[in-house]
Amino acid sequence: MNLLRYIAGRLVVYVLVVIFALTVLFFVPRLGPTDPVEAMLAKVASQGAYMDAAQVDALRQSLADTFGLDGSLWDQYGAFIKRIVLTADFGPSLSMYPTPVMELIRNALPWTFGLLLSSTLIAWVLGNFVGLLSGWKPNSTSSRVMEGIAICLYPIPYYILALLLSILFSYIWKIFPLTTTIRGAPWSWELITSVVWNSFLPAMSIVIVVFGWWVISVKAQTTALKEEEFVRYARLKGLSDGRILSRYVLPNAILPQITFLALQIGLMFNGSLITEILFDYPGLGLLIYTAVLQGDFNLLMGTISLSVIAVATATMIIDLIYPLLDPRIRHR
């Protein structure tokens, strides 16, 4: 019963957060010194696209729709929220007219999720493994070296690492591609290797930084857990180091990481956006960048709203999963 109340409470907060975020998005264009529609039209015109007056008018109307500029501020706000929450319709893309924005997003999302999920997962597994071992034997040379490396890697922003990696492995030592070009028929071996090959450097830039973080935090946790009475008891039961680590230390070290992950998702998402842009990786980040460069405001509003909602949703899901994993909260 308690659990249900927790879930309900968390869902209410989630809805409020999404509405709050959309409210921010609604007001940002209205805070600017310039009229976004006219600024947009100027940008489109400056890119040398020739349009007759009727086309310009149609575009102006479409933009006014996007920003919901008709009616009173209150009407505009209501229409804006309703459109995003209920229909998830952001209109057609202006730079890739008439492809709907949602379709572009739908094509880009798997790339971003694939990149973020796989690299976080790899970093998490490696980081836990190394952090656990070096926390178990904190005074050994290898564990001190690993911690030193982790401390040097963690503070580096993803995009700086992305730059470093591309300088090292695409310019100086030309082994990986500079930009992403995917080749091959759907589901063919060629396509898969091409995806892995092209995703390697962008993924590495995320893996390395996140790895650094996990090593630092898991090591600290393991060192603390080692002193716990239940670990000492397990040792006096004659259990092997491997069993103590896997059944006693690891689960207790992983649990608090989950709440941390919820706080970190936004930062990781920020980082992956820039990494994608730097490597021309066809995900949400590149789509946002394209939208900015092309002045495609439908696409911009769509991608930004969706990123904000996606991060809020991911945070909520993690928050909801946490009590299911911790028996101390699950059975109260």
Partner 1 sequence: MITVDKVTVGYGTTGFIKAVDEVSLTINDNEILGIAGESGSGKSTLMRAVYGDFSTGLRIQSGTVTGRFEDARTGKVIEAPSSQFAPLWWDQLSYIPQGSMSVLNPLMKIEAQVVDGLPARERQGGSRALRQRIAEFLAGFGLEETVLDAYPHQLSGGMRQRVLVAIAAFVNPRLILADEPTTALDVVVQKKILLMMVEIQRRQRNSLVLVSHDLGVHYQITDRLVIMYQGRIVEQGPTAEVFANPQHDYTKNLIASLPRLHGKRAVEVVGAPA
Partner 2 sequence: MAKFLADAPFRLYLGVVLVIVFIIFGGILPWFAPGDPLVWYTAPRNQNPSAAHWLGTTSLGQDVFWLLTYALRNSLILGLIVAGFSTVIGVFLGLAAGYAGGWLDRVLSFFMDALLCIPTLPILILMAALFGGQLALPIIGFALVLFNWPYPARQVRAVALTMREREFVNVAWFSGESSVRILVRHIFPYIAGWSAANFINTVLVGISTESALAVIGLSSAQQATLGTMIYWAINYQALLGGKYIWIGSPVVAIVLLFIGLFLVSSGVSMRSSARRMSI
Residues that bind partner 2 (CB under 8 A): 13, 16-17, 20-21, 24-25, 28-29, 32-34, 36, 39, 43, 138, 141, 144-149, 151-152, 154-157, 159-160, 163-164, 167, 171-172, 262-263, 265-267, 269-271, 273-274, 277-278, 288-289, 291-292, 295, 297, 300-301, 303-304, 307-308, 311-312, 315-316
Q: Report the residue from 140, 243, 256, 259 that binds partner 1 according to the rule CB under 8 A.
A: 243
Q: Report the residue from 9, 78, 148, 251 that binds partner 1 according to the rule CB under 8 A.
A: 251
234 binds partner 1, rule: CB under 8 A? yes
223 binds partner 1, rule: CB under 8 A? no
Q: What is the closest distance, in whole angstroms, from the C-beta atom of residue 1 to partner 2 in the complex?
A: 23
Instruction: Compute the distance between CA of residue 297 and CA of residue 284 in angstroms, rounded to an integer.
Output: 15
CB–CB of 299/98 below 8 Å? no
Residue 239 touches which member of partner 1, partner 2, none, C-beta under 5-8 Å by kind: partner 1
Residue 20 touches which member of partner 1, partner 2, none, C-beta under 5-8 Å by kind: partner 2
Question: Per-residue b/e over 173-188, b at no fewer than 16 CB within 10 Å?
Answer: eeebbeebeeeeeeee
137 binds partner 1, rule: CB under 8 A? no
Where does this chain bind partner 1 (CB under 8 A)?
228-230, 232-239, 243, 247-248, 251-252, 255, 326-328, 331
